[in-house]
Amino acid sequence: MRSSIIAAATFALGALATPVIQKRDCNDTCMTYEQATVVANNFKSLIANYSDALADQTLTVDFVDYSDSVTELINSGCTGPQTLGEPTFNGRAAFEAGQGSQPPIPFEILNLWYACEGPVVMRWRSAQSPEIITGNIVIETTRSDGSEPWLMNTVYSEFNSGAWLVNLGVFVPNCTANGTSAVGPVGKRSLSQRLFPM
C-alpha cells in the first residue's frame, strides 16, 4: 500500500517535471545478469564437471568455502575431523584438494539472484537417488580484469546433507513398506513431537 502511494506520488511528480533518470545499480562497477549467470554456471561446473584449471580460473587464491553441510558429509555425521562452524575449505588449494577427489555430481540451478558487486545467490538441486538434494548458496565475488570479470572469493553453502547421508548409506533410515518412518520424532509418533533434541 505504502509503495503504491509512493509510486503514485512519483508518477504525479514525473508528469509535471522532466524525469531525471538516475543511474543507480546499473553502472560500470556492477555485474550484468549475463555475468551473474557466468558466476553461477562456474560454480555449477566446479560441482558437476570439476577440473583444477576451472578452479584456478574462477576462484580467488584466498577463496573460502563455508558449508557445515559439506563438513557433515566429510565427517559422516561425527564431530570430526572437520569442525562445524569453521571454514570447510580455507583457500583455493584446500578446495581443489577436497573437490578434486569427487566424482561429477548432478547439479541444476533452480533460481538465481544477484546484486551489483555480488553476491550471486542460487537455489539448486541435485537429482540424486533415492533422495533429491536441494540447497542454497551465497557466492561473494571480486572484480577481476582476467578472463573472468567476477571471481568467487567466499561461498556460504548449505543443503540437505541428511538426504545426502542417506544416499551414501551412512545414515540408514528405518522405513515402513509405504515409505514413512517407523521411528523417530515423526513417523509412528505424533506429528507434534518436537523435532530438535534441545
Say how far apart CA 135 and CA 71 lie, in whole Å. 15
N-to-C CA span, the chain: 41
Helix or strand or coil: residue 24? coil
Q: Which three cell numbers stand for residue 73?
A: 558429509
Note whether 29 binds ligand NAG by CB under 6 A.
Answer: yes
Note whether 176 binds ligand NAG by CB under 6 A.
Answer: yes
Note whether 102 binds ligand NAG by CB under 6 A.
Answer: no
Stretch that binds ligand NAG, among 64-72, 132-140, 158-166, 178-186 (CB under 6 A): 178-186
Note whether 49 binds ligand NAG by CB under 6 A.
Answer: yes
What secondary structure letter does DSSP report for 31?
Answer: P
| Cβ 54 to ligand NAG shortest distance, Å | 6
Whether the ω angle into residue 173 lies within 30 degrees of 0, i.e. cis, is: no
C-beta atoms surrounding 92 within 10 Å = 22
Stretch that binds ligand NAG, among 11-19, 65-73, 87-95, 179-187 (CB under 6 A): 179-187
For ligand NAG, the binding residues (CB under 6 A) are: 25, 27-30, 49, 51, 116, 174, 176, 178, 180, 182-183
